[in-house]
Amino acid sequence: MAEEDRVGFAYGTRDGHPERGEEAFTVTLRADGSVWFTVTAFSRPDRFWTRLAGPLVPVLQRAYARHCGRTLRRLANRPRPGGR
């Protein structure tokens, strides 16, 4: 997906993955010049051991999403070659 002020991609899990679901990653440039990174995900356990993990799985998924956000923020604030 690509628009003038938004770009992103999505994917679904493959057969055999412990979770069954999809994730979408979108970067949006807003009118005020701010840049937003959005992760949208849904999943359900697809293996007995992920069902046993119960509420721990969403906690780990949120932690990973936050990690991705921190990493992108760090990369976006890094000085660019050529001073731009």
Could you tell me which residues come within 8 angstroms of residue 69 by beta carbon, excluding any fewer than 6 positions away?
Answer: 37, 39
Number of independent structural domains in the chain: 1
Q: Give domain status of residue 16, yes or no.
A: yes
Kindly give the parts of the chain with pLDDT less than 70.
83-84
- What is d(CA 25, CA 9) in angstroms, rounded to the nearest whole number? 6
Q: What pLDDT, on the 0 to 100 scale, is given for residue 30? A: 93
Q: Which domain holds residue 22?
A: 6-83
CB of 41 closer than 8 Å to CB of 22: yes
Q: What pLDDT, on the 0 to 100 scale, is given for residue 69? A: 83
Q: What pLDDT, on the 0 to 100 scale, is given for residue 31? A: 92
Q: Give domain status of residue 1, yes or no.
A: no
Q: Give domain status of residue 72, yes or no.
A: yes
Q: What pLDDT, on the 0 to 100 scale, is given for residue 24? A: 93
pTM passes above 0.85: no
Q: Give domain status of residue 14, yes or no.
A: yes
Q: What pLDDT, on the 0 to 100 scale, is given for residue 9? A: 94
